[in-house]
Amino acid sequence: MNNRNRFVGKAPKIKKKQRAVEGATDKDIITLCTQCALCCKGFFFSCVRVDRRKKKKIEKLGMPTHKITHADYALNQPCSGLSGEACTIYAARPEKCVEYHCLIAMQVMVGIINLKHGEKIISDVKKQIQWFSKQTQLMPIKNGERLNPYDFMHAYLKKARSLNKKGKLSKYDNTYAIRVFEYLKIIDRYFRKTGLIGKYATFIKQIR
Ligand code: SF4
Ligand code: SF4
């Protein structure tokens, strides 16, 4: 079986015991993540939630947060704490960053794939999303800032679906929406379950 097919479906839960048995180390994950950092660049998330108890500490490090609920704040993505592929506030990073492991990292952690294989997938995915990275230059500006790739992807698919309902989807937008949907599929397959595939699958089926 091609190992990549294993990414389809629900990601496995990682039990400490299992991780120890499989022999994956924190070093492996650090090695993988420091070559990647895609999850800090706004490709898969709008923002990162920051607990209000950690807010002051993070702001003291020069990273502004904004309020999202009465108790929580968030760091915008791409994250201002990222330098190259490294987190400059690693020891003080929000809990959500500590907890998050993408589906590839989880597969390495439980030993379904080894580090080398994980690195190869990240390198392939980076090539695949190159097209989407270029789109960030063309993205509309909201409140003085460009939308990050994840927000753009969501906003664009929503708009295209609505245009299609009204029979106003241009040929250009038709092709573009299919490509954007392919990007969403990459996120869901390798990085996180967004819950958006079902939302747009029927629309994409209609325009293919
Ligand atoms: S996307 Fe995955 S491999 Fe890349 S930095 Fe984030 S957790 Fe690590
Ligand atoms: S705080 Fe660090 S780990 Fe969290 S999103 Fe920013 S750069 Fe990434």
Sheet of 66-67, strands arranged across: 47-51, 72-76, 66-67
Alpha carbon of 198 to ligand 1 centroid (Å): 24
**Is residue 164 scored above 90 in pLDDT?**
yes
Q: Is the pLDDT of residue 35 over 70?
A: yes
Q: Average the pLDDT over 178-196 and give the result.
A: 94
pLDDT digits (tens, 9 = 90+) for 105-146: 999 988 899 999 999 999 999 988 888 777 766 666 666 677
Query: How far, in Å, from the CA of 47 to the mean position of ligand 1?
Result: 15
Which ligand is the nearest neighbour of the Cα of 89?
2
Point out the ligand nearest to the CA of residue 102.
1
User: 112 CA to middle of ligand 1, Å?
Assistant: 16
Q: Atom of ligand 2 at shortest distance to CA of 48?
A: 5
Q: Identify the residues whose C-beta falls under 6 Å from ligand 1.
A: 32-33, 36-39, 101-102, 104-105, 122, 191
Number of DSSP helices (H) and strands (E) in the chain, helices first: 10, 7
pLDDT, average across residues 146-168: 92
Say yes or no to pLDDT of 170 above 70: yes
Tokens of 155: 């906003």
> How many Cβ atoms from other residues are within 10 Å of residue 65's Cβ?
21
pLDDT for the residue numbered 138: 64
pLDDT of 93 above 50: yes
Q: Which of 32, 97, 98, 102 to mutate to test the pocket of ligand 2 (most atoms within 8 A of CB)?
A: 97
CA-nearest residue for atom 5, ligand 2, is 40
Residue 194, pLDDT above cutoff 90 = yes
Q: In angstroms, what is the span from residue 51 Cα to ligand 2's centroid?
A: 14
What pLDDT, on the 0 to 100 scale, is given for residue 18?
A: 44
Q: What is the mean pLDDT of residues 42-70?
A: 89
Nearest Cα residue to 161 out of 203, 128, 126 = 203
The Cα–Cα gap between 137 and 38 comes to: 17
Mean pLDDT score of the chain: 83
Taking residues 37-65, report their average pLDDT.
Answer: 90
pLDDT of 24 reads 53
Return the minimum-mean-pLDDT range out of 53-62, 67-76, 113-122, 186-195. Answer: 67-76
pTM, 2 dp: 0.81
Domain boundaries, the chain: 15-113, 132-207
Instruction: Looking at the CA of 43, name the nearest ligand.
Output: 1
So what's the pLDDT on residue 4?
26
At 71 the pLDDT is 75
The answer to whether residue 188 scores a pLDDT higher than 90 is yes
For the cut 50, the answer to whether the pLDDT of residue 172 exceeds it is yes
- The protein residue whose alpha carbon is closest to atom 6 in ligand 1 is 39
Percent of the chain with pLDDT over 90: 54
Stretch 50-70: mean pLDDT = 88
